[in-house]
Amino acid sequence: MRITGAKMVTESLKEEGVDVVFGYPGGAIMNVYDEIYKQSFFQHILTRHEQAAIHAAEGFAKSTGKVGVAIVTSGPGFTNAVTGLADAYMDSVPMVVISGQVPTTIIGTDGFQEIDAVGISRPCTKHNYLVNDIKDLPRIIKEAFHIAATGRPGPVHIDIPKDITAEVANFEYPKEVDIPTYKPTVNYNKRQLKKAMGAIAKSKKPLLYVGGGAILANCAYEIREFAKMTNIPVVETLMARGVMGDDNELFMGMLGMHGEFAANMAAHDTDCIISLGARFDDRVTGRLDEFAKKAKVIHVDVDPTSIGKLVDTNYPIVGDLKVTVEGMIEAAKDMQFNEYTNWVSLLRDYKEKEPLRYQDSDSVIKPQWAIERVGQILGENAIISTDVGQHQMWTAQFYPFSFPRQWNTSGGLGTMGFGLPGAMGVARGNPDKVSINFTGDGSILMNIQELMTCVEYNLPVINIILNNNYLGMVRQWQTLFYENRLSETDLSAQPDFKKLVEAFGGVGYRVSTKKEFEEALKDAVEKKKPAMIDVIVARDEIVLPMVPNGHALNEMTLLGDSNE
């Protein structure tokens, strides 16, 4: 059939089974929006800012495992989307982002709302396209979805000039993708795996170090099974929260800068570290030359560039993580492993003696208490998003995660403003769960306009502001490393959040006692409306444990060490 380029876009999305698109219209993308108006197979959600459209698509993708889709216009529409693209790139979120571009006849003349979009998106996307010829459009969209979802996932950006969306050509959506230069490795090298398994069996203190790749590859339950059959303890990175489930006997906690004592000691003392979909990020390793320095390193990753990038690897294994872990389970069935009972009980001991904890109070709400309380009340009935800062670290530490994709946060890029739109995407993709966004009084204002989107589309996101009147994480560093010179981190000037959310048409609460908090939460969950609970919390609380910059993981500052 002969159709316009704009219709090709909507038809292709239909072919890909897309059921929701987040976006914002504008001049260069209008032809596509006209087709969106005429169709009924997917919903379009109008965010109030392009950055939020991308974050919402991320939240949707992270919580459902599907490819997120966002559509924006040229120029400022696209530049607003860049932060979202960079965020998705750093956290390997499968996404397709379509932007309008000025007509091909205008490209290069500094036209109205023209910017070199593919030039800007190149370093923050897995791949990008500028469509030069309408005949390429169906193939490009097909390739984009394939590239976004396979190998190490990531965002793919397609820039479409306006005249191409107006042109008419024959449309046939390709069934197959054939990119001769893109063949991600799926199957691991069997000999290499055998050698690695031998090293594990011989080790005395092995450790599974699990990263966000375990979520992306959908192999959390395989990892649980492998850990159980071999009795090897597990630590999670920030992005992997929920892989093991927090009540698992072999789960030793999150490791890294704000990781718990047992997890960091495990990583420090292990003699064989098995990295599954993790990438030895600086926030995990602390001082690199001290990280797991007694250990043989087994590194499983679908992306070869992650291997050997920071830490020398004894057993590199490139392959799909799910396939590889299944192979490990298979291999482990006919193998004799050492007894790791002493090692596990030593770590359990650490966990008991030095748990994550805080000084609770009856006169003021502690932020950690609020998070724990939500965990006790909602537990596995909620999917948790966060913004970035102290509240994010406390949530990672104190929320009792129990399943993969229950956790939606901006890890790699650390984007303040991610939480509300991200939680919106979660709400759209998971109507049977409560979508909670833990946020801070700094972060929430970065995409506050999305309350309008939540209200318009009835996406019942419950925003819980842990309000300490500070840009808390920066303030924490100023206190610890800058002799308490609080440069530009006092946020005492702030809106009345309760009135603000009410102005948008949502439900607002302002609470300063535990009882008020519990009542507000209960009410918000029952009302099933977009809500914001402004929780006045202890101002000077800091995130502990903490591995100061340039220190090794066993050099943690623990609660009781600090002068606070």
Partner 1 sequence: MNNFNHYYDSETTRQVISVIVINEHNVLSRIVGLFSARGYNIDSLTVAPMTGSKYSRMTIVTTGSKRVIDQIVKQLNKLIPVLKVNEHQNVIEKETVLIKIPIEQPLSDIEVIARAYNGHIQNVTHDAIVISATDAPSRIANFTNIMNKYKPLEVVKSGVVAMER
Which residues contribute to the site for partner 1 (CB under 8 A)? Answer: 118-119, 122-123, 126-128, 130, 132, 147, 179-182, 289, 292-293, 295-297, 303-305, 307-309, 311-314
Instruction: Look at residue 495 and give its three-state secondary structure.
Output: coil
Nearest approach, Cβ of residue 305 and partner 1 (Å): 4
Helix (H) or strand (E) holding 500: helix 497-504
Whether 113 is a known active-site residue: answer yes
Q: Which is nearer to partner 1, 305 or 492 (CB)?
A: 305
Q: Which of 62, 66, 142, 162 is catalytic?
A: 162
Distance in angstroms (rounded) separating the CA atoms of residues 134 and 11:
14
Distance in angstroms (rounded) separating the CA atoms of residues 32 and 6:
4
Nearest approach, Cβ of residue 146 and partner 1 (Å): 11
**Preceding peptide of 400 cis, ω within 30°:** no
Q: Which is nearer to partner 1, 56 or 144 (CB)?
A: 144
Query: Which residue's entry shows tokens 């069935």?
Result: 333
Cα separation values, 336 from 112, 276, 333, 396, 473, Å = 69, 21, 9, 35, 47
Q: Which is nearer to partner 1, 270 or 324 (CB)?
A: 270
Q: Which is nearer to partner 1, 130 or 464 (CB)?
A: 130
Whether 406 is a known active-site residue: answer no
Nearest approach, Cβ of residue 104 and partner 1 (Å): 12
Nearest approach, Cβ of residue 539 and partner 1 (Å): 40
Nearest approach, Cβ of residue 318 and partner 1 (Å): 10
Q: Which of 16, 50, 260, 372 is catalytic?
A: 50
Q: Which is nearer to partner 1, 308 or 505 (CB)?
A: 308
Cα separation values, 28 from 46, 51, 98, 314, Å = 17, 18, 11, 52
Q: Which of 446, 473, 532, 556 is catalytic?
A: 473
Q: Which of 30, 113, 194, 452 is catalytic?
A: 113
Whether 162 is a known active-site residue: answer yes
Whether 42 is a known active-site residue: answer no
Q: Which is nearer to partner 1, 184 or 414 (CB)?
A: 184
Instruction: Look at residue 435 and give its three-state secondary structure.
Output: strand
Q: Which is nearer to partner 1, 48 or 296 (CB)?
A: 296
Nearest approach, Cβ of residue 21 and partner 1 (Å): 24
Whether 515 is a known active-site residue: answer no
Instruction: Please say whether the beta carbons of 525 and 434 come within 8 A.
Output: yes
Joined together, the tokens standing for residue 425 give: 């995407």
Instruction: Please say whether the beta carbons of 208 and 274 come within 8 A.
Output: yes
Task: Report the amino acid identity of residue 173.
Answer: Y
Nearest approach, Cβ of residue 192 and partner 1 (Å): 15
Residues in the chain: 564
Nearest approach, Cβ of residue 314 and partner 1 (Å): 5
Q: Report the candidate in 378, 376, 367, 369 with the shortest Cα–Cα distance to residue 526.
A: 378
Distance in angstroms (rounded) separating the CA atoms of residues 403 and 359:
28
Distance in angstroms (rounded) separating the CA atoms of residues 59 and 419:
9
Output the 3-class SS for 30-81: HHHHHHHHHCCCCEEEECCCHHHHHHHHHHHHHHHCCCEEEEECCCHHHHHH
Q: Report the candidate in 441, 494, 495, 488 with the shortest Cα–Cα distance to residue 467.
A: 441
Q: Which is nearer to partner 1, 122 or 190 (CB)?
A: 122
23, β-bridge pairs? 46, 71
Query: What residues act catalytically?
Result: 50, 112-113, 162, 473
